[in-house]
Structures are given as structure tokens and as C-alpha cells.
Amino acid sequence: MLGQLKLEETFHYFDIPRLFTCKNNAGSRFLVISTFDDYETYEWLYLPISKDRFSSLISKAIPLRYALTNPEDGYLFFVSSEFSGNAKVEHILPEQIKSEDLPDSEAYLVSKEKIPVGLGAVDAQEAAIGSRRETYNLHFYPWGMQLPELDAMALGAILMSFQELANALGQYCKGEVTLEGAIPADILEATKFRATQIFEGSFGIQLKSKSMNDLFYSSLASDVLLELTNLLESRDNEDNISNKLHSLKGRVASKYRRFLKEVTKLDSPLKIQWGSPNSERGNVLSISRQELKNAYALVNKIDVDMSESVVFKAELLGLDVETKRYRVKHIPNNEHYTGKISEESLQQVAHSEINGIYEVTLKKVIETNSSSGAEITKWVLVKLNVANK
């Protein structure tokens, strides 16, 4: 039933290997623990184990007892063998394991040598269950791509914008929303994601939460991915996007705008595969190139609408409708403002006179530099009314 087995790693030896891993010819790995012997009859627990779960065990991310009582496939094998070579194999459920056969709750797999495990499962759900970490697979299909390759800077910008968006969503999930300033270190740590592998069949990259889910399969990273997936599921529906971004508040709109901006630069559809240790979460979602472009345009507009605004009397020093640029001088303190004109305001400001005195309305927009990650404050002109004398 177990196939032709070959001993792999031995973690505890007393007369015979007592705690070890082995593989069969099909590549299936088992973690094996000796539970009884009287030198004539031996009893063993064989736990089928994935690379992700094995990696979590040898890195001491999860204890041995958890692995045995939470098998990835829902069952283990109980093996009774005789010294003569005869053996009996049967499936058992984790609740059938005798309590005296289980290791202590704080017992971990220990090895004196670093054991190479290799890459884990590509499938997000399998990877999540094996590692007990939230797993987010991003698939890109750049137009005309002959090989599964992406420009390094483009990929870096996407990953940076993804992490910044996750941090902002983490603030919302914790109920500590702010527009500017540093995000608390505990939120940054709990929302941190790591790139674990890339894969073919598009250009695919797998992201896993640095932190593991708790015993109830919940984590801040899981809450973040729930909000992010719901946001992406709005696609290019203006009402849904607007309602969602206004409810998320804080800096989420600007961070989502930047993420969409970096993704749309690839001119590629986007497929998301979210795997979660929580069986009630996880999703698979595909978004077309046009939906991404439309969503970016909508978020760009909504982000400006949600920004802080200032109104003051100013002299119009420059205006170019073609380049959508303006320049004004704040009359009370002679401070100069330059920037872009919003699309909705172009017609209204087109016939304004240079050196005229106007009541100016500017919207504050915070952008993130794609290379340095530094936040830059910009002012968008949204209204220009003739000032009262």
C-alpha cells in the first residue's frame, strides 16, 4: 500500500530508526514514528507529508504533534510489522491515535544538518495547507511574451506596490487607519509577504505570508487577502470600487492605484489564486487587460475625490490644457503650487486668464516613487473660480 520505500532522513535512532522520513518510487514522502516494539512486533505511524509541511517541520514553525493530529490528507497509515517481515497496513484518522503515542505539544523535529527540501507545491491551496501560511499566486500573461520572463524592475515595482497595499489594508483590518506617517511595526510584521517561487504556464510568482495562521486558522494576513480579493473582484465596476475604497479609508486608495498602475504597465491579464489554511477562505479570480485599465482609470479618479482639499486665493501664473499643467501663486504668502489639472476641470479652467486672481481648489494626492518607495505629495487642480473683489 505504501509502495517501495527508501529511507531518507533519520532524526532519532535507538537500535533501529525511530523517527525518520522515507520516500517511495512515486516520490511520496512519509514521516514515520515508532510507537511500540517488543523486538518481535513493531508498530508505526506513517504520515504522508508534502514539501511545504516538511519544510515547516524542520524549520520548527510547527510542532510534531500538530503535524500528526492535522494530516494534510486527513488520515495517516498505521503499520504493524513482525520481525519476520510480515506487515499489516491500514488507514487511520488522527483522532484514533492513542494519546500516549503522540509527542509532547512542544516537541519539534530536530536535525544536526541542514536538510534541503526543495520548492513546495505550486498550487496555492496545497501550499497553504502544507505550510499553514496564506498563499497568493499571481499569474501574468504579458502580450507577445515568448518566454516566461518579466523585466526585473517591472516585477520589483509590482511586488513593492503589493506589499504596500497589504500594509495599508492591515491598518484597516486592525482599525488603525491613518492617511500619512509610519504604519505600526506590529502591523508591518503581520502583513509581510515573501516570494517563495516562480512558475511557468504564464509568468507566475508565489507569495506566502511570513506569519503562520493560529490554531483557529486566522491571521491578519488572511484578513488582508480577503479585503484585497474582494477589491479585485470589483473589477471595473465604478459603484463597487467607489463604495469599497470609501469604506476602506486611509491610504488604501492610493496604494491600490499604484498596484493597478504597475500591473497595467505589463499590458497583461491577471489571474489570482488564493490558497488559505482556513477552508472557508481562498479564491480564484481572472481579470482581463481592459478591466485592469478601466479599474486603474476609475481608482485614479476616486483617489483624487477622496483626498484632502485646500481652497485659497491665488494668481494664475500658467495654464496649459494640452499638457494638463497649471501654476499658481498663493497670494497671502507668495508660495507657488504646480501640478496637474484634473480631467473633469479641463473645460472649466480652459478660458481662464493668466495673471487673473482666482479662488483655487487643490486636491492633495500622495504618490509613492516606484524606485525609492518614498512618498511624494502632489496637488491636483480641481476648481478655478473668479475671486470676489
Domains within the chain, CATH numbers bracketed: 5-101 (no CATH), 124-306 (no CATH), 309-386 (2.40.50)
Q: What is the pLDDT of residue 313?
A: 92
Q: Alpha helix locations (H) across 152-237?
A: 152-174, 185-190, 220-233
pTM: predicted TM-score of the whole model, two decimal places: 0.70
Give the residue-averaged pLDDT of 227-236.
96
Higher pLDDT, 212 or 358: 358
Model pLDDT for residues 158-190, shown as the tens digit of each residue = 999 999 999 999 999 998 787 767 889 999 999
Asked if pLDDT for residue 306 goes beyond 90, the answer is no
DSSP 162: H
88 burial class (0-12, 13-18, 19+ CB within 10 angstroms)?
exposed
Q: What is the pLDDT of residue 124?
A: 94
Asked if pLDDT for residue 127 goes beyond 80, the answer is yes
Asked if pLDDT for residue 224 goes beyond 90, the answer is yes
pLDDT, averaged across the chain: 89
Closest CA to 370 of 203, 187, 198, 161: 161
Q: What is the pLDDT of residue 354?
A: 93
Closest CA to 292 of 265, 274, 273: 265
Closest CA to 362 of 327, 334, 333: 327
- Could you report how far apart the first and last alpha carbons of the chain are, in Å? 93
Provide the phi-psi class of 194: left if phi over 0, else alpha when psi is between -120 and 50, else beta.
beta
Closest CA to 179 of 385, 389, 365, 382: 365
pLDDT band at 202 (very low <50, low <70, confident <90, very high): confident
The Cα-based distances of 108 to 54, 60, 115, 214 in angstroms read 12, 6, 15, 17
pLDDT band at 212 (very low <50, low <70, confident <90, very high): confident
Q: What is the pLDDT of residue 16?
A: 87
**Single-letter amino acid code for the residue at 45:** L
Asked if pLDDT for residue 112 goes beyond 80, the answer is no
Give the residue-averaged pLDDT of 94-102.
93
Asked if pLDDT for residue 86 goes beyond 90, the answer is no
Model pLDDT for residues 330-379, shown as the tens digit of each residue = 988 889 999 999 888 898 898 899 999 999 999 887 765 655 556 678 89
Say what percent of the chain tops pLDDT 70: 95
β-pair type (325-330, 270-275): unpaired
Asked if pLDDT for residue 195 goes beyond 60, the answer is yes
Closest CA to 107 of 49, 53, 63, 60: 63
Asked if pLDDT for residue 279 goes beyond 70, the answer is yes
**Single-letter amino acid code for the residue at 313:** K
Asked if pLDDT for residue 54 goes beyond 70, the answer is yes
Give the residue-averaged pLDDT of 195-208.
90
Q: What is the pLDDT of residue 144?
A: 61
Give the residue-averaged pLDDT of 144-162.
85
**Single-letter amino acid code for the residue at 222:** S
